[in-house]
Chains A and B, each alone.
Chain A
Amino acid sequence: EDQVTQSPEALRLQEGESSSLNCSYTVSGLRGLFWYRQDPGKGPEFLFTLYSAGEEKEKERLKATLTKKESFLHITAPKPEDSATYLCAVQAIQASGGSYIPTFGRGTSLIVHP
């Protein structure tokens, strides 16, 4: 069974204090790993897709990296507006060639204090 575990569940940072969020996964074959940001009461907002180990993507203060077992979302010099829940999702290669149901982690709730 595909599994996605995000840690920590919650993270409090001071403005400017860089840190990383972790997403560890167990799948038979990775088709894609996705990062989303979700603000309270809103739908998730797509950030990045990573397809293979070693791949990295950046957007403003965020940088996502991928290994064969986990992904990190690095936040450099965060600002209060970066406060949100960050979700990781994994899509596995299906041996039967059938459905591609992504598995979401439960998220990391990030609060950045001014």
Chain B
Amino acid sequence: EAQVTQNPRYLITVTGKKLTVTCSQNMNHEYMSWYRQDPGLGLRQIYYSMNVEVTDKGDVPEGYKVSRKEKRNFPLILESPSPNQTSLYFCASSLRSNYGYTFGSGTRLTVV
């Protein structure tokens, strides 16, 4: 089944404790991105990648890192999480940047 897989689905952590949210797609898509979704603000792009070793900032990149060492994987790293990073996070992929995205099921992160 064609899909984007994120892990974990739920995560509660403490301020400052580094964490990684994994994302993997099995569709050989070139384009991958990370979004956060907050009530009243909608979906905002954090980082995106147009191919292996090619990443760039989205609208809200502060406090996040990404890497794209393999085509299928695009992990999101929070080096020192803070409470304002509490949110619902989605990974998405598409064959081309102007095609529709396939989204993962989401990761609900709470930073206390």
Please name 13 further chain A to chain B contacts, defined as beta carbons within 8 Å, in addition to the given A43-B104, A91-B98, A101-B59, sorted by A numbering.
A36-B100, A42-B106, A43-B106, A44-B90, A44-B103, A49-B98, A49-B99, A49-B100, A51-B98, A99-B56, A100-B97, A100-B98, A106-B41
Given B58, B102, B104, which contacts A101 in the complex, CB threshold below 8 Å? B58
B43 touches A31 (CB 8 A): no
Contacts between the two chains (Cβ within 8 Å), count: 54
Interface residues of A (CB under 8 A from B): 31-32, 34, 36, 41-49, 51, 87, 89, 91, 99-102, 104-107
B106 touches A31 (CB 8 A): no
Question: Which residues of chain B (75-103) have a CB below 8 Å from chain A?
Answer: 90, 92, 97-103
| A44: min CB distance to chain B, Å | 5
Provide the residues of chain B in CB contact with A101, threshold 8 Å: 45, 48, 58-59
Query: In whole angstroms, what is the CA distance A70 to B103 when docked?
Result: 24
| A41: min CB distance to chain B, Å | 7
Q: Does B105 contact A (CB under 8 A)?
A: yes
Interface residues of B (CB under 8 A from A): 4, 40-45, 48, 56, 58-59, 90, 92, 97-106
| B31: min CB distance to chain A, Å | 9
Return the chain A residue nearest B102 by Cβ: A46
Provide the residues of chain A in CB contact with B103, threshold 8 Å: 36, 43-46
Provide the residues of chain B in CB contact with A106, threshold 8 Å: 40-42
Return the chain A residue nearest B4 by Cβ: A43
Query: In whole angstroms, what is the CA distance A42 to B48 when docked?
Result: 20
B42 touches A104 (CB 8 A): yes
Query: In whole angstroms, what is the CA distance A95 to B84 when docked?
Result: 33
